């Protein structure tokens, strides 16, 4: 579970009390070991979610359920799968509650700013366009979070090459 600490939310609710309760996706790539599940999007690790429909993933939906209604002006995304970044599709354009935003094609955590803040307890993200993968036609996202404070354990050697 990812906890919101600061900055990206506003309103009357104390940010320390706002938590992501769950995440749901319109599809998930099947694997025997459940390696690409939706919960990977909010688990604060380098495990990724992958959509599971035929085709590039355009139109796939991610719903994030917060404990309270919040106002979001930006969020963080780790696009693709870090170790196989160019092999799979990555998100190029997302629609967040009907606001389109562009995501950079780079391996690392990045901040995405919305054109206008949204207030919601269940924001929806829709994949609108992708950067094509060199090997697989599955779109992958490693993490979506609404804060950047110690998202990954920076003293852990497995994460030493992650750019923030």
Q: What is the pLDDT of residues 24-67, one digit of tens each?
A: 999 999 998 889 999 999 988 899 999 999 999 999 999 999 98
Ordered by where they begin, the domains of the chain are 9-149 (2.60.120.260)
Where are the strands (E) in 51-139, listed by range? 61-66, 70-79, 90-96, 99-102, 109-120, 124-131
Q: What φ, ψ does residue 91 adopt, rounded to 5°? A: -70, 130
**More reliable by pLDDT, 4 or 93:** 93
Its pTM surpasses 0.75: yes
Average pLDDT over residues 136-146: 94
The rounded percent of the chain whose pLDDT value lies above 70 is 78
Structure tokens at 14: 């104390």
96 sits in the region (left: phi over 0; alpha: psi -120 to 50; else beta) called beta
The sheet carrying 124-131 orders its strands as 20-25, 61-66, 124-131, 90-96, 99-102
16 in helix, strand or coil?
helix
Report residue 17 CA to chain centroid gap. 21
Q: What are the Cα distances from residue 108, in Å, to 4, 14, 114?
A: 20, 29, 19
pLDDT tens readout for residues 69-128: 989 999 999 999 999 999 999 999 999 999 999 999 999 999 999 999 999 999 999 999
């Amino acid at each position: 579970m990812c906890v919101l600490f600061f900055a990206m939310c506003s309103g009357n609710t104390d940010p320390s009390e706002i938590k992501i309760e769950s995440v749901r996706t319109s599809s998930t790539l099947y694997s025997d070991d459940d390696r690409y599940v939706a919960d990977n999007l909010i688990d604060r690790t380098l495990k990724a979610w992958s959509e599971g429909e035929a085709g590039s993933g355009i139109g796939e939906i991610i719903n994030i359920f917060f404990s309270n209604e919040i106002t979001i002006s930006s969020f963080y995304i780790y696009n693709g799968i870090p170790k196989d970044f160019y092999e799979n599709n990555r998100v190029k354009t997302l629609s967040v509650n009907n606001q389109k935003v562009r995501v950079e094609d780079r391996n690392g955590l990045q901040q995405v700013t919305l054109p206008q803040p949204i207030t919601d307890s269940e924001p929806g993200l829709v994949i609108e366009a992708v950067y094509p993968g060199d090997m697989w036609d599955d779109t992958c996202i490693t993490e979506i979070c609404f804060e950047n404070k110690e998202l990954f354990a920076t003293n852990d050697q497995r994460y030493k090459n992650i750019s923030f």
